[in-house]
Structure 1
Amino acid sequence: MTTTDDHQVLPKIVRPTHYDITLTPDLKEFVFTGHETINLDINEDTKVIILNANEIEVKSAKLGKLNSESHDAVSIEHDEAKSTVKLTFPEEYPAGCKVKLYLEFTGILNDKMVGFYRSSYEENGEKRYMATTQFEATEARRAFPCWDEPAIKATFDITLIVPSDLVALSNMNVISEKSQGNDKREVKFATTPIMSTYLVAFIVGDLGYIEDSTSGVQNGGKPVLVRVYTLKGNEETGRFALRVSVDCLEYFAGVFGIPYPLPKCDMVAIPDFEAGAMENWGLITYRTAAVLFDPNASDARFKQRIAYTVCHELAHQWFGNLVTMEWWDHLWLNEGFATWVGYLAVDKIFPDWDIWTQFVSEAFQRGLQLDSLKSSHQIEVPVNDPSEISQIFDAISYYKGASVIRMLSNYLGENVFLAGVRRYLKKHEYGNASTNDLWNSLAEESGKDISEFISIWTRKVGYPVLTVTEPSPDTLNISQSRFLSTGVIDPEEDITIWWVPLNIDVGTGNYKDLKDVVLTQKEKSLNLPNRHEDFYQLNSRKTGVYRVNYIPERLAKLGQAVKKDMLETSDRVGLVADAGALAISGHGKTSGLLNLIKEFDKEEQYIVWMEINTRLSDLTSVWFEQPDYQSLLSFQCNLLSKLVHKLGWEYKSDDDYLTTMLRSLVIKIAGRAGDKDVVNEARRRFKLFISDNDENALHPNIRGVVYEIVLIHGGGEEEFEAILNIYKTAKIADQKVVALTALGHAQQEKLIQRALELSISDNVKSQDIIYPFTGLKENCKSRRALWSFIKQNWELIQNRYQHSLSLFGHIIKSLDSFSSFDDIRDIEDFFKDKNTKEIERPLQQSLENIRVRAAWLSRDKKDVEDWLRNNGF
């Protein structure tokens, strides 16, 4: 292992060009044997070869020139700390020669959801297993010795020797099968394109599938065979994902101008899976709830999640697989692009979902929230140690990255932007690229020096808040400074001057006339043209990555403009989001946010209510131990009562998707807040559903919502047991998820303890701890019990999740629901003698979030109290 530009990478003495790998997994003993031949180019004279291996024992190693005698290694030295193996041979090989390395090895089919691992499931009361892989970011080395870095690409021949009754899958199509005797067969796959090790994949299991093909019209005349694999009996629940994947592959082949290069694309539902999905080239793996959907029994929320997840992973077949980042510093080129392109595809396939407005409320806000912390990081973040890699698979790489792309696309125009993307992909296909390579391609296409103004967004942490004052009726004074949720910024933290497209709308329909006005200094004055009804807003359609701080009088006028229907849906969303964030930071008052939300009493757009719910949830979550908590809930009930009554509980066949989602959301908000009519109706329907087995009493879209409402408002052991039984017996993945999450909303102490104990029991898969923890974190009655439980079971949690770092980080982020400085001290005291190397980012971000919440409460406690009293709550 050497250090190059601070990156811990393998020596460049040799480089692989091709791997020929044969693996034999044993699903009874949970081990595997393997042998491989690696074609190598020798770059420097050497008799030592170092490559990656983790929990693999290399039994033998030989090295020889092509068509020449090979020599056994004189020593094989494993370095567990660096996850490498050092092979020393008796003679030196000169630079420029080509050699073959022959290795025999054994490994473990672990239960850690990384590397080559085992996944379990129940069938007819019997526990069964399949073998699968998860290699991103540095886990291919758990399956076979290799050069496990994204820039070290090679081609791969994969052969699996498996039980004759099981299905074997890999990146490419099967080219031969033959019996090996002893109820085993050898399955050989076609040679892959040149690719990175983290994208190699193979699966062995008892699987069924459904299939379809693309037309090939957009793919150079070559249809692509698409299959969705599931455990047998569940095949039809993959039908929706199959339809989306066929449409999406057709769309991407056209919009990117490069055909999908593999003959097939398999998607597989895995019972145990750490992340949501993984883009292995030609063999995409998913959590079951991220790919399987039953139109008669699934919650509609999961339909959109599946559509987006499928499109995101298929986008990676170009962004990440065809063109791969040079190093993990440029992870956003994979994830930011796949996020933006995923939304682009969903918008194309499901235009009635208004997905880009949902982006403003969800992805955009998640990126801004994390980036408002001092513990955030740049989009292009230096990554040196492998332990740091998993910690940047976060809202910055995904959502801020996608938001910057969206801002740039809006500025250049989507057609010009996509033409630049096509140029980038074509120029770097089957290779590696950096952020500068993208800027160069966009500059060549647009004729603009992209890097000059956009690089600041990827290389600097944070984003600006624009403060707007009105020195005269037709003049705006606009200044920018870094936005921090703490509201406190030191001069040295506020030196960045961002390139900010203002996108000013003056309400006349001619806002595009001001589209190209850009702020490139700390402050500027701007004269507005004639405005409609004294109206203007910055960041129209919310494509700019910043927040806007208006004077209170202007914010009130924008609230009035909401009632006059002068703002697009995305602008209403952004207005509420900015007001909420500015109240948290102290740039505005919480009373200003509440006054603004009051103006939305006639709002009927689902996506706007999503954002209002987020901001009210933030507020009640921080005030959860304050006397005004119940008054805030009363305000929510009052705000929603008319809309809940209007929408009712019945789902109609002619409801559009957004109406369907709105009904579920407002029932949830009103029910959680304690609306008596909603709570009583939830109890009535729950009783019919449980006691009378009336499936029609609870539509699948509101089952999880009703479970939560019933447990929050008087539900006891009987209701808890009923929901627990639903979790244990449900056949549909999303219905298991909603039941398990709901259990975390129990209010009685003994039931809270049962939910906590359930989360780490054998009844809950290790991957699914996030669901009860989500409910327990949201539940004001269980937050402190959750933290005590984590402390008491820290050793178990650390041992179980230290290799599943995204899940480990999620557990740590369950701590950020507190609102006092005493809690910060308690958390810091607990971790001061713990090894937090793998969770340092999420831990520091959680602590900072608590500081932000505590400061908000301290600053605006009386402001909220006065507002509630003055408004009759």
Structure 2
Amino acid sequence: MIMKDITRTEAAERASVIQDCHYEIFLDLTKRERFFSRTCVKFNSKPGANTFIDALANAIESVSLNGIPLDIKSVFDGSRIALENLETDNGVVVEGYFEYTNTGEGMHEFTDPVDNETYLYTQCEVSDARRIFAVFEQPDIKASFIVSTKVPKNWHVISNSTCREIKDESNNTTLGTTENCPRVWNFGQTPKMSSYLFAIAAGPYVGTQSVYKGARSIPLGIYCRKSMNQYLDADYIFDITRSGFEYYEKRFSHPFPFEKYDQVFLPEYNMGAMENIGCVTLSENYIFRGRADRALKERRVVTILHELAHMWFGNLVTMRWWNDLWLNESFAEIVSTMASERVTEYKDAWATFALTEKSWAYVEDQLPTTHPVVADVHRLSDVYSNFDGITYAKGASVLKQLVHWIGEEKFYEGLNRYFRKYAYGNATLKDLLTELSSASGQTLDEWSKQWLETPGVNAINAKFCVKDGKFDSFSLEQDGPQRSHRINIGLYNLESDVLKKTIQTSVLISGAKTAVRELVGIKQPNLILLNDKDYGYCKVRFDIQSMDCILENLSKLKDPLSRSIIWCNLWLNVRDCLIDPSLFVETFVRHVESEQDTKWILERVNKCINFYTKDDKSTKASIAEKVWLMFERAQPNSDNQLQFLKGYALFCSTKMQYERLLAILTGKCNVVQLDADLEWHIIAALAAGDYIDEDEINNFEKKDNTITGRELSARARAALPNKKADCWQKILTDRTLSNSTIRSISAGFQFVQSADQLSPFVDVYFDNVLDIFKNRTFAIASAISEGMFPLRLSNTDLVQKTKSWLRDNKDAPVGLRRIVTDNLHEAEIAVKLKECFS
């Protein structure tokens, strides 16, 4: 199947000749090898114009234009159907067969090992609607859709609009018996929407219904597989959803713009969720089979609110082209965090944002492949790599800064104008800035140039002189592009064993150096915290006294947001080779037990020990023992207890430590309540240490005969030291491996006791990665090329071979070169840190 790219120029040309588009789509989903698809599309055009419609079909059976059959060989090139000499009013009918996938793209097919039931779902963003039906695949040709699906009788179908009619088909040629004859589900017409928001979920899904009563009553639904229904906390999800509805309708001054709101939880999903109109799809990772950590629970809430926000940002008003993807994602990210803080139990949502989302943005904004928030997207294939920390987290971070700058009420007033003016249409950055400028009375062109159109992050450093214990001078210096920042400076002093903020001042930074005269004459505090309250998008540096105070007293600082800012910037300073990774680890040992969410910090400690320092078994063993003591001190069944046990499993190095872990798994050491997911976490660690064998892993898989069990067992097998070559063999030769299984194998492959275990696979990676990217779908190719890069090795040999590959493969696909380039950057950081501090 040839997959031809679509350029921005081609899309603009096509949009200029296609208007008033309407689709009627029929999908026969009763056959398992492939499915039949018929598209009837009506549209207006310029008489005599030529264009094309997209279709990534297994086989096109017929094409007609305005009632005239077209020669398929002449008009279809494998991904496009040429449409020539159009009339004012046009009708195109395309019939063909399309492939089910196991990659999470297009029409994904999944069979549940628990009950052997088959489930289907679609994923169309960025350009995979064309894997399902013939379509003008670009966001600015909005159209209404009427969809009909033929499915087995016991199936349930969810789509963008409400089902208006279900008919039994009397002539059953597929299933063989009248009583089991297929049914045809006919859905109502949708409002105008972009094709990437099209959605179908079909199978024996089970669901629960509710309603939101706001400006009007909105039907709500939550669906999942039968075997997962016992774990689905539908009442809680409905409560979060209704709270989001109420918050957004009030703040946006615009009622929910669509007729219903269903949420469908899916297996083998490539992302967290997708905002399809009326049929939001979410990863089954948000259904908890056992104890879920606090970070995942909070992420589920933010994700639910994020997707709901998209009904306004992205769906009611949609970007014209993919360079404005940030208009969807950044706004959904910031307002979902606002909503989480104000209408859910996660009142410290901004502390979580600072620690996780913002640190993600800072790291990605220093990669050699960073880009402006408003990305330069020439073709559809450029878009896939831009679902990143810039589009999501940096965009949201600079919007938080803008809200602080112009005021929240003016911000929402501008958004309300934007929604009213461009409802059910498309818009651009310029359109949004016009409405925000009008509402705030401020010109935002310069702000946009500095923050949306220029890549990179500034570092802010305090320069001061102290005389008789007081500041004699105080200024802030910034490196990088000269931008304007409005940040707070917090001065903290230790009082009664609590680190208290004694002074806070707001500073407008402009240029390379900004004097802060308000602090002259003020006593030097124990801690100077730049960007206090986290309004700015900038890295901050710590002076020596502040650094000493952090190491000694961080847990005495009671504000979670302030601590998150410090943890985030400690990490950034490590990566910038300004702080010894061992200092980050020491801060963790002294203070992490006071944190409410330890997951992010534990992950960075793992990076410090396993990537940023030379392999040292004794260091890992020492940290493992300290984390074990944290586990023993933690409140039983608390989130910290769960995280410390997982951390201990990660750092185990000695025979005694592994035997302790094995005793927990077998029940001989009854110190924690185990569930299936926690068992698998321990099994993977034991496998990496070679303290469990493949037969034992297989026995645990038989006990957990679910898709999650199969994926986690694949991860555990891949962690076995003698199975690393098998990982590559399976990934290269077994096309039946699904997207999620490949990710599991990759995670296990990287789980090693010694980095040297990956040395034999450096050449294997570079010998195969180009063919993988050329011959597999983007989702699979990117999962393999990212997941199988031997980054843990991070030595000079890996750096040199990576540079050589990049030099010799300048014409490799952009997405692949980006993955390899970014991994090279990470390897160079690790090598530099080892040289400087080990």
Task: Please tell me the TM-score bracket, short chain as reference.
Answer: 0.7 to 0.9
8 A Cα contact 2:593 2:640, kept in partner: no
Partner of 2:175: none
8 A Cα contact 2:102 2:736, kept in partner: no
1:22 to 3, 21, 25: 25
Q: Report percent identity of matched pairs.
A: 18
2:318 to 313, 320, 324: 324
CA deviation after TM superposition for structure 1 residue 356, in Å: 2.2
Partner of 1:870: none
8 A Cα contact 1:212 1:226, kept in partner: yes
Report the secondary structure of 1:375's partner residue.
coil
Partner of 1:271: 267
8 A Cα contact 1:549 1:582, kept in partner: yes
Partner of 1:771: 744
1:426 is aligned with what amino acid? Answer: R
CA deviation after TM superposition for structure 1 residue 112, in Å: 4.8
Separation in 2, partners of 1:408, 1:140: 35
1:826 equivalenced with 2:801 (yes/no): yes
Separation in 1, partners of 2:699, 2:128: 36
8 A Cα contact 1:686 1:697, kept in partner: no
Partner of 2:38: 35
1:51 is aligned with what amino acid? Answer: I
Report the secondary structure of 1:161's partner residue.
strand
Q: CA 1:758–1:31 in structure 2 vs 1: closer, same or farther (change >3 Å)?
A: closer
After superposition, where does 1:74-223 map in structure 2 within 5 Å?
77-78=74-75, 80=77, 83-89=79-85, 93=87, 97=88, 99-113=89-103, 116-122=106-112, 126=116, 128-181=117-170, 182=172, 183-214=181-212, 216-217=213-214, 220=215, 222-223=216-217
CA deviation after TM superposition for structure 1 residue 338, in Å: 2.0
After superposition, where does 1:855-870 map in structure 2 within 5 Å?
855-861=832-838
1:235 to 229, 236, 240: 229
8 A Cα contact 1:277 1:287, kept in partner: yes
1:464 equivalenced with 2:458 (yes/no): yes
Separation in 2, partners of 1:695, 1:525: 56
Q: CA 1:751–1:678 in structure 2 vs 1: closer, same or farther (change >3 Å)?
A: same
- The superposition leaves residues 285-316 of structure 1 with CA deviations (integer Å, 9 ceiling, x where unpaired) of 233223x234x566665433433332222221
CA deviation after TM superposition for structure 1 residue 560, in Å: 4.2
CA deviation after TM superposition for structure 1 residue 331, in Å: 0.8
8 A Cα contact 1:109 1:131, kept in partner: no
Report the secondary structure of 1:309's partner residue.
helix
Separation in 2, partners of 1:727, 1:423: 55
CA deviation after TM superposition for structure 1 residue 138, in Å: 1.1
Q: CA 1:244–1:725 in structure 2 vs 1: closer, same or farther (change >3 Å)?
A: farther
- The superposition leaves residues 411-437 of structure 1 with CA deviations (integer Å, 9 ceiling, x where unpaired) of 444444333333322332211122233
Separation in 2, partners of 1:594, 1:233: 42
Report the secondary structure of 2:463's partner residue.
strand
Q: CA 1:110–1:830 in structure 2 vs 1: closer, same or farther (change >3 Å)?
A: farther
CA deviation after TM superposition for structure 1 residue 372, in Å: 1.2
Q: CA 1:450–1:817 in structure 2 vs 1: closer, same or farther (change >3 Å)?
A: farther
Q: CA 1:226–1:136 in structure 2 vs 1: closer, same or farther (change >3 Å)?
A: same
Report the secondary structure of 2:224's partner residue.
strand
1:366 is aligned with what amino acid? Answer: W
Q: CA 1:334–1:731 in structure 2 vs 1: closer, same or farther (change >3 Å)?
A: farther
Report the secondary structure of 2:14's partner residue.
coil
Partner of 2:679: 703
Separation in 1, partners of 2:266, 2:108: 10
Q: CA 1:737–1:481 in structure 2 vs 1: closer, same or farther (change >3 Å)?
A: farther
Using the size of structure 1 for normalisation, the TM-score is 0.83
1:772 is aligned with what amino acid? Answer: I
Runs (5+) with no aligned partner, structure 2: 173-180, 494-499
1:410 is aligned with what amino acid? Answer: H
CA deviation after TM superposition for structure 1 residue 323, in Å: 1.2
8 A Cα contact 1:120 1:271, kept in partner: yes
Separation in 2, partners of 1:790, 1:225: 50
1:440 equivalenced with 2:427 (yes/no): no
Partner of 1:618: 607
Indicate the larger mover: 811-820 or 137-146. 811-820
8 A Cα contact 1:244 1:307, kept in partner: yes
Partner of 2:309: 315
Separation in 2, partners of 1:390, 1:313: 19
CA deviation after TM superposition for structure 1 residue 392, in Å: 0.7
Q: CA 1:381–1:74 in structure 2 vs 1: closer, same or farther (change >3 Å)?
A: same
CA deviation after TM superposition for structure 1 residue 759, in Å: 6.5
Separation in 2, partners of 1:151, 1:435: 14
2:442 is aligned with what amino acid? Answer: K
CA deviation after TM superposition for structure 1 residue 809, in Å: 6.8
Partner of 1:569: 560
8 A Cα contact 2:99 2:131, kept in partner: no
8 A Cα contact 2:29 2:149, kept in partner: no
1:645 equivalenced with 2:632 (yes/no): yes
Indicate the larger mover: 253-262 or 807-816. 807-816
1:673 to 627, 651, 663: 651
Q: CA 1:531–1:540 in structure 2 vs 1: closer, same or farther (change >3 Å)?
A: farther
Report the secondary structure of 2:516's partner residue.
strand
- The superposition leaves residues 498-529 of structure 1 with CA deviations (integer Å, 9 ceiling, x where unpaired) of 222221112488889623x2111111221244
Using the size of structure 2 for normalisation, the TM-score is 0.87
Report the secondary structure of 2:169's partner residue.
strand
CA deviation after TM superposition for structure 1 residue 362, in Å: 1.2
Q: CA 1:113–1:811 in structure 2 vs 1: closer, same or farther (change >3 Å)?
A: same
Separation in 1, partners of 2:6, 2:673: 63
CA deviation after TM superposition for structure 1 residue 261, in Å: 2.3
2:575 to 567, 570, 584: 584
8 A Cα contact 1:23 1:32, kept in partner: no
1:35 is aligned with what amino acid? Answer: R
Separation in 2, partners of 1:61, 1:427: 38
Report the secondary structure of 2:26's partner residue.
strand
Report the secondary structure of 2:395's partner residue.
helix
2:630 is aligned with what amino acid? Answer: L
Q: CA 1:257–1:787 in structure 2 vs 1: closer, same or farther (change >3 Å)?
A: farther
Q: CA 1:101–1:415 in structure 2 vs 1: closer, same or farther (change >3 Å)?
A: same
CA deviation after TM superposition for structure 1 residue 2, in Å: 12
1:766 is aligned with what amino acid? Answer: N
1:804 to 761, 770, 779: 779
Separation in 1, partners of 2:48, 2:188: 32
Runs (5+) with no aligned partner, structure 1: 65-69, 483-495, 652-659, 862-873
Separation in 1, partners of 2:696, 2:648: 23
Report the secondary structure of 2:314's partner residue.
coil
Q: CA 1:822–1:347 in structure 2 vs 1: closer, same or farther (change >3 Å)?
A: same
Separation in 2, partners of 1:713, 1:427: 60
| Alignment length (residue pairs) | 806
8 A Cα contact 2:354 2:561, kept in partner: yes
Separation in 1, partners of 2:134, 2:743: 32
Partner of 2:813: 836
Report the secondary structure of 1:152's partner residue.
coil
CA deviation after TM superposition for structure 1 residue 852, in Å: 2.0
1:293 to 288, 303, 321: 288
8 A Cα contact 2:683 2:692, kept in partner: no
Report the secondary structure of 1:103's partner residue.
strand
Report the secondary structure of 1:506's partner residue.
strand
Report the secondary structure of 1:318's partner residue.
coil
CA deviation after TM superposition for structure 1 residue 34, in Å: 3.5
CA deviation after TM superposition for structure 1 residue 384, in Å: 0.7
Q: CA 1:577–1:144 in structure 2 vs 1: closer, same or farther (change >3 Å)?
A: same
2:704 is aligned with what amino acid? Answer: A
CA deviation after TM superposition for structure 1 residue 463, in Å: 0.6
Q: CA 1:807–1:681 in structure 2 vs 1: closer, same or farther (change >3 Å)?
A: same
- The superposition leaves residues 726-747 of structure 1 with CA deviations (integer Å, 9 ceiling, x where unpaired) of 445436766666555455544x
2:418 to 415, 418, 424: 424
2:432 is aligned with what amino acid? Answer: L
1:845 to 795, 813, 822: 822
Separation in 1, partners of 2:524, 2:114: 68
1:818 is aligned with what amino acid? Answer: L
Separation in 2, partners of 1:524, 1:497: 12
- The superposition leaves residues 248-292 of structure 1 with CA deviations (integer Å, 9 ceiling, x where unpaired) of 3333333322222222222223334333322111112233223x2
